[in-house]
């Protein structure tokens, strides 16, 4: 466990809240302080921390790795922010991109042509963990003159085949 200032602040706040609560049960300050001191780590690690992880949308950020991209499609959302920020794929040809990311999972539909646009490849990035997340992450890779010019992340609604509409 890494002790950070935020951890210390949370533990102090939790200790004070437990102390105030237990003080309503028993007026002996030394006993209340002792019980609060013992209960604070348990309440933090078994109640507060799991609840915080459920409601927060924090996830690990990773650098782009072609092998991890292909092997773990559900965890691609961890790599996409770094990939966009560092322009890792900008200027890459379609052949190089197919080698790095695998072939496009789907192509964007072009209403003007009434066909799929071969210059807009899409990849699913997986679903970010969180209790209230009903969106899946995707990225659209746009080509001009056979070179990547932009990566546009977007989210789409998660739907299941057996859901009634």
Which residues share a beta bridge with 107? 121
Token reading at 95? 């052949």
13 in a domain, yes or no? yes
Task: Look up the domain containing 46 and give its range.
Answer: 5-55
Helix (H, G, I), strand (E, B) or coil at 42: helix
Number of structural domains the chain divides into: 2
C-beta pairs of 43-47 under 8 Å, 24+ apart in sequence: 43/14, 43/18, 44/10, 44/11, 44/14
Bridge partners (DSSP) listed for residue 147: 93, 144
Q: Is-contact 158 134, C-beta < 8 A?
A: yes
Residues 149, 71 share a domain: yes
Which CATH number do you get for residue 126?
3.30.1450
Listed range (24-28, 54-58, 82-86) with the worst mean pLDDT: 54-58
Burial class from Cβ neighbours inside 10 Å (0-12, 13-18, 19+) for residue 101 reads buried
pLDDT (0 to 100) of residue 7: 82
- Residue 141 and residue 71 share a domain: yes
Same domain, 51 and 97: no
The C-alpha angle 72, 73, 79, rounded to 5 degrees, equals 85
Q: How far apart are CA 22 and CA 30, in angstroms?
A: 11
Q: Are 161 and 140 in contact (CB under 8 A)?
A: no
Residues 11 and 71 in one domain: no
In terms of domains, do 23 and 42 share one? yes
More confident residue, 127 or 133: 127
Does 153 fall in a domain? Answer: yes
Query: How many Å apart are CA 163 and CA 111, to the nearest integer?
Result: 28
Residue 136 clears pLDDT 60, i.e. is over it = yes
Taking the whole predicted model, whether its pTM rises above 0.75 is answered as no
Q: Tokens 């200027």 label which residue?
A: 91
Predicted confidence (pLDDT) per residue in 76-121, tens digit: 999 999 899 999 999 999 999 999 999 999 999 888 888 999 999 9
Q: What is the pLDDT of residue 5?
A: 86
């Amino acid at each position: 466990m890494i002790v950070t200032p935020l951890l210390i602040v949370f533990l102090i706040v939790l200790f004070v809240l437990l102390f105030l609560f237990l003080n309503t049960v028993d007026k002996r300050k030394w006993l209340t302080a002792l019980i609060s001191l013992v209960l604070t780590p348990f309440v933090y690690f078994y109640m507060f921390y799991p609840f915080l992880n459920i409601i927060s949308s924090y996830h690990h950020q990773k650098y782009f790795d072609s092998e991890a991209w292909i092997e773990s499609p559900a965890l691609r959302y961890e790599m996409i922010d770094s990939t966009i920020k560092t322009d890792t794929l900008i200027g890459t040809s379609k052949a190089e991109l197919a080698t790095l990311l695998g072939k496009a999972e789907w192509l964007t539909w072009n209403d003007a042509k009434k066909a799929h646009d071969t210059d807009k490849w899409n990849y699913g990035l997986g679903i970010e963990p969180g209790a209230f997340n009903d969106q899946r992450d995707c990225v659209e890779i746009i080509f001009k003159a056979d070179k990547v010019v932009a990566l546009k992340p977007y989210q789409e609604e998660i739907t299941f085949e057996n859901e009634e509409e």
